[in-house]
Structure 1
């Protein structure tokens, strides 16, 4: 099973939703970095369940415990091992789907691939896997001291934050439960999610991420282009359906004259439709991208389906589920972006030390 992210800096994970714990091993993290464990826990708290009325009410402390690679508060250069224990599983909530396939879930494909599946909470296919990614990303953020990474919910269903990111105050993102820095739009988003939740239904939307202060020269020019590595990481997030950076799909409607970013004499550009990346390499401008998420597949309403033998059955979600993944996915997007940048930064540093 391919469960490792990264090239030089890598994360290998383990764990299932209703198993005893999640955890991972981070290889090639530089030695000597002083680690703020409170900041790591803060990032985990942003992702954990039960934090508001518009997310799953599963109660987990999501407390990380480091097993190796950190001594006297500093990284040692050896593999960083960590574990997060699961505390609030309710496996009986899934007994009714032990032999049935939920529509749009990984139940059928896991069964076909492995011949066996852990139906309790989705097993390895559960979005709880992302807890490992947040630990790794929180460490990567501390390595990238001058880089600013800010993600926020930019749409829920057909409700959009119409303001460009340059007009937003990212310090306001954490002031509401949907994590949209525009208060008026946030209120509408929250009301929509609560409405959907009452119906036993779910809803999707988008998250926008803005990365500032990335030096020019980060990213590999062929098969590890910066945008490709970011896209790969984002598209591995549960429920992710799309990725675009810079002008994205809107750029396909433009001419070259309209789209080209003209240079200033200080090597900044007059526009930034490239999204801070040219030729797969950062150009020093803001990097910005948008990630699309589908509605959560588990809905608390009856749906027609089939069992393992192909017999028609009716399935209905039970237990605790997110009506919308977006609020809890914001720290996941930031964490993966940080990990990708840290990986490519370290690769670049090994052969181009004069840049730093």
Structure 2
């Protein structure tokens, strides 16, 4: 099973939803980085369950322990190991699907690939695993902070309800002021109501998370196969429930002429080469060009719903699957820190790799 990501700033996650713990090892983090435990915990708190009535009611403190790689508050250049204990598992909620395949879940595919599966909360396929990514991403953010690089994500769409403003028109800091993590208060209120009504109906709904990366200098990215946008796409598509990724103009660019889409260069007053527009999303030729990097990630509706659905069991017999357990009616509010974490991991790795590009 592939549970590692990165070349120089490399992570490996471990653990299952209902196991003793989940965790991550980080290999390649430079020595001398101040290890801000309060910041890392705050990032985990943004992802943890039980935040409001529109998220899963599983109660996990998601407090992390440092097992190695840090001494006297500073990274040592050695592998960093972080662990998060599971404390609020309810495995009995999943006994009824031990031999049943839940629609649109990983039950059937895991069984087909491995010949066995941990049905308790989905085991390794559960989004519980992403807490380990957020912990590692927080360390990457601390590293990027030293370089003046910032990563900020927010919810831009829930169902058909869309935020009709671009990132440049918004105060992104407002995203943390509401449970939905949408930086427009009026739209956030409508989104909350839509998610809550969906929850009451025993259903789920999808959405979109936008992400903005500022301060990234020109020159990050590894053509031809590890282009910056390709790595960001892979990182986002590795997140549970993600169905789509686009950066810059994305699919809308297919409707334009080159004369409309091209980003013209100019030199600003400080002598810096800039572009007048940013259809490229801060990336050209697979390499950052110094402009703001922005992308969008689409999430499907959560597969577990509190309604009966038709399916089959391990023997191929027709069954009715009943939704039980504690699940998010919409994943995007808690996905925001996950998107940020994966973007930060990509950028940290690309920064280290860029240092070997030339003398």
TM-score, reference length from structure 1: 0.98
Separation (CA, whole Å) in 2 of partners of 1:25 and 1:149:
22
2:250 equivalent to 1:244: no
Instruction: Name 2:226's counterpart in structure 1.
Output: 224
2:342 equivalent to 1:339: no
Instruction: Name 2:307's counterpart in structure 1.
Output: 301
SS for the counterpart of 2:8 is coil
The unaligned stretches of length 5 or more in structure 2 are none
TM-score, reference length from structure 2: 0.97
In the TM superposition, 1:1-356 aligns within 5 A as 1-145=1-145, 146-266=148-268, 267-352=273-358
C-alpha displacement of 1:350? 3.2
C-alpha displacement of 1:7? 1.1
SS for the counterpart of 1:59 is coil
C-alpha displacement of 1:13? 1.1
1:176-207 Cα shifts (integer Å, max 9, x gaps): 00000000100000000000000000000100
Separation (CA, whole Å) in 1 of partners of 2:13 and 2:198:
33
C-alpha displacement of 1:352? 4.0
C-alpha displacement of 1:221? 1.7
Separation (CA, whole Å) in 1 of partners of 2:10 and 2:150:
21
| 4+ residue segments displaced more than 4 Å | none
The unaligned stretches of length 5 or more in structure 1 are none
Separation (CA, whole Å) in 1 of partners of 2:127 and 2:107:
14
Separation (CA, whole Å) in 2 of partners of 1:240 and 1:203:
13
1:44-71 Cα shifts (integer Å, max 9, x gaps): 0000000111000000000010100000
C-alpha displacement of 1:351? 4.0
SS for the counterpart of 1:206 is strand
Separation (CA, whole Å) in 1 of partners of 2:298 and 2:249:
15
Separation (CA, whole Å) in 1 of partners of 2:89 and 2:267:
58
Separation (CA, whole Å) in 1 of partners of 2:53 and 2:355:
44
1:158-178 Cα shifts (integer Å, max 9, x gaps): 000001110110111110000
1:122-141 Cα shifts (integer Å, max 9, x gaps): 00000011011001100000
Separation (CA, whole Å) in 2 of partners of 1:9 and 1:350:
14
Q: How many residues align?
A: 353
C-alpha displacement of 1:323? 0.2
